[in-house]
Amino acid sequence: MTTAQKPIGLLGGTFDPVHHGHLRLALELYEKLDLAEVRLIPSAIPPHRHPPLASPQMRLAMIQIAIQGVKGLTLDDREFYRTGPSYTIHTLESLRADFTTQPLCLILGMDAFLNLPNWYQWERLMTLTHLVVVRRAGTVLPETHDLQHFLHIHQLHDQEELTQNRVGGIWIEEITQLTISATQIRNLLATHKNPRYLLPHSVLNFIYTHQLYR
Ligand code: ATP
């Protein structure tokens, strides 16, 4: 299959800063699911959480440095060109306008998936994309009635279906999750400890040069 027909993976987040947890996740899914690419999409104003500490330009630059020369990982800065909160549904509409025929796969951690019913217009998501839900071995599936029903309707049992249809499926993938968070890295930096090995060294150098997260 040509790259132009393969599904495109989408990984949104604040990336404040980008770290090896994000990067391994993106790369593993690129390879395991045979995706055209995984687009890292930093949010400008995330609607569900406190604002990022680093500016959009700094977060973009850190992602650029982290993925430089890595086949399969790309940066998508479209959320910075919109005003107002970065609602995923609007990002997906914009991506769909650019990629009319390719399947889209929105990548979500199980935590984010369990929180889905709180998202703006969440039931419309499946008209625009597939969901790839990543879980660690042993973590539970949803217990709320709404989500169980939603999963029951949409869950795929054959990976091929991600390619055969453009939208509408939920694929659950188990990955070896690295327990790294951006919060942990920011806290280490704020207390003058060394976050080395949790994120690419080039990104850490950038953080020191620009005196971020002090
Ligand atoms: P913070 O600590 O600031 O909340 P974070 O490290 O969780 O940030 P985000 O930018 O919020 O990072 O995450 C973007 C996406 O990457 C989310 O879908 C999240 O589930 C996923 N992700 C974050 N950290 C990891 C990790 N260690 N392993 C796998 N996925 C991760």
Domain layout of the chain by residue ranges: 8-209
88 lines ligand 1 (CB under 6 A): no
Contact 14, 182 (CB under 8 A): yes
**CB of 120 closer than 8 Å to CB of 102:** no
CB 47 within 8 A of CB 14: no
Task: Compute the distance from residue 82 Cα to the ligand 1 centre, in Å.
Answer: 22
User: pTM value?
Assistant: 0.94
At residue 143, the pLDDT reads 73
**Atom 23 (ligand 1) nearest CA:** 22
Q: Which fold has domain 8-209?
A: Rossmann fold (3.40.50)
The pLDDT of residue 29: 97
pLDDT of residue 6: 96
Please report, to the nearest 10 degrees, the dihedral formed by the alpha carbons of residues 80, 82, 85, 90 taken in order.
Answer: -110
pLDDT at 47: 66
- Residue 138 pLDDT: 64
Which of ligand 1's atoms lies nearest the C-alpha of 183? 2
Q: What is the pLDDT of residue 52?
A: 87
Instruction: Specify the pLDDT at position 145.
Output: 74
pLDDT tens digits along 142-170: 777 778 889 999 999 999 999 999 999 99
Q: What's the 21 CA to ligand 1 centre distance in angstroms? A: 7
pLDDT below 70 — which residues of the chain?
46-48, 137-139
In angstroms, what is the C-alpha Rg of the chain? 17
